[in-house]
Structure 1
Amino acid sequence: MPDQAASPAQEAAAALEVVVEAARAHLAEITAAEGRVGDAAVWRAYVALNDASLAYDKLIDEAFGEATPWDPRPLPAVDGEGGWPGYVGDDDLIESDGTPTVISVRHRRDYLVPSQAALLRIAEAAREAVPDPDDDGSPLEGVGDAVLELLHAGGGTLASLEIEELTPLDGLVVVNEITGPVDLDAVDAGAEDTAFMMGTEQPVIGRLDERSVHGDPRADDDQD
């Protein structure tokens, strides 16, 4: 009697097991590395976890129209040993420069909020799922608080803002070579803009424009 084809639920369960095993392997390599920067085994485990997550995410999207909350993305091609091309592994460490260069990467991306109430609801759910030990329990008072809550729950990455409740508009990435890193203790509350300002002695090296496929939906309203 021929074997019956696996159902979508069975395929999803099998793919999920691969993700779980990859996550365990990743944690094991992180633990073994003991904080070493540029550990090749950690990178290979990271790539394996990413690929397993991507496969699972694609499977449940095609079978059920659903997605994972961590939003995996394809990684660029890597060399045979794992890591980015030219990646520094355990056996090929590069000696640090006598005077290390400091680079500042400033990223601005704007978002349209179709429904403030919807955004606040999903932010409250994120707060419950990933509690902030420093949170005083005060209710979220606006979209700013909601976005900060989502960023906290997502580990500070902009990927945590890729949700239906936020429509991404254009963005801009600027890279500068600077004389020294930001001193957070010297950035006063209410004066955070100063941390993003660059003097003429710290010229822009380059910029990357992020063009949104959505444009600004308000532009259509202005023409009515």
Structure 2
Amino acid sequence: MTDQHAELDAALEAVFAAARAHLAAVKAADGRIDDDEVWQSYVALNNASYSYDERLLDTFGEVTPWDVESIDPNEADQRFGVGLGGVDGDESGDPYPRVLSVRQRRDYQVPSVAALVRVAEAARRTGLAEDEESAPVEGVGEAVLELLQAGDGSLGALDIPELEPLDGVVMVSEVTEPLAVDAYDDTDGVGPFQPADGDRLVGRLDEHPYAADDELVDDDEAGRVG
């Protein structure tokens, strides 16, 4: 057996060893996200596979079905943020921690109060026993709150024909401290959204309803006619 063949056999054994180590790390992580041992063993398996593929090509002109490229572990850590401080929930290694605040406002037009209340009451009855009665929904504000609670809590729950979206705004800010909801009364609708000293507005996005966009498209198309 030539030295080249021996090196090829050794490269294949390295693939086997790396695959076993990777499997052991995956089992030990048990589904834990961004586990450093899984990442390191993945890189080792990738590079062992790449090395074997290259040696097989050089020795016999054959290739494996593995379409991989060599990974520099140091460069990969910098690029993907894996293996750096803070990956496993420990942010002590990050010299530049940040807290971001996203504030959103969206206004709605109510074409029919009765129709909106009916939809909210139907949402309130969802999940109740057949013999259990739900309290009536009183007013548009309570109707919207009920729909938010019945949905996922996002504005997507209000994407219904009974509400026509108006203009909205989204503001992203870097803040000094995260929100402490218990510091504000339940009736305080201003305090939680009020910027504090030291907060920095990064940017503001103005949102416009889809109906306005459609009208704009129609106007543009009308202007191009002829």
TM-score of the superposed pair, with normalisation by structure 1: 0.51
Q: 1:199 aligns with which of 186, 196, 199?
A: 196
Structure-1 residue corresponding to 2:179: 182
More helix by share: 2
- How far 1:212 sits from its partner (Å)? 1.4
Residue number among 103, 121, 126 corresponding to 1:106 in the alignment: 103
Gaps of 5+ in 1: 1-31, 40-85, 216-224
Q: Provide the C-alpha distance between the structure 1 equivalents of 2:141 and 2:109, rounded to a whole number of angstroms.
A: 12
The CA RMSD over aligned residues, in Å, is: 2.9
Counterpart AA for 1:92 = V
Partners of 1:38 and 1:140 in 2: CA distance: 46
Alignment of 1:140-159 (within 5 A): 140-159=137-156
Count residues with an aligned counterpart.
Answer: 129
Instruction: Decide whether the 8 Å contact of 1:130 with 1:153 is kept in 2.
Output: no
- Paired-residue identity, %: 47
User: How far does the alpha carbon of each residue in 1:116-137 deviate from its partner, in whole angstroms, 9 at most, with x for none?
Assistant: 1100000111112256xxxx95
Partner Cα distance (1:142, 1:93) in 2: 53
How much has 1:154 moved relative to structure 2? 1.1
SS of aligned partner of 2:211: coil
Give the unaligned 5+ runs of structure 2. Answer: 1-29, 36-75, 213-226
CA, structure 1 residues 198+156, in 2 after alignment: closer, same or farther (shift >3 Å)? same
Residues 124, 134 of structure 2: 8 Å contact kept: no
The one-character-per-residue Cα deviations of 1:63-95 (angstroms, maximum 9, x if unpaired) are xxxxxxxxxxxxxxxxxxxxxxx9xxxx93653
Q: CA distance change for structure 1 residues 94 and 121 in 2, over 3 Å: closer, same or farther?
A: farther
Cα pair distance change 1:113/1:130, threshold 3 Å: farther
1:168 aligns with 165
Larger Rg over CA atoms: 2
2:43 alignment partner in structure 1:
none
Q: Distance in 1 between matches of 2:171 and 2:123?
A: 30
One-letter amino acid of the structure 2 residue matched with residue 146 of structure 1: A
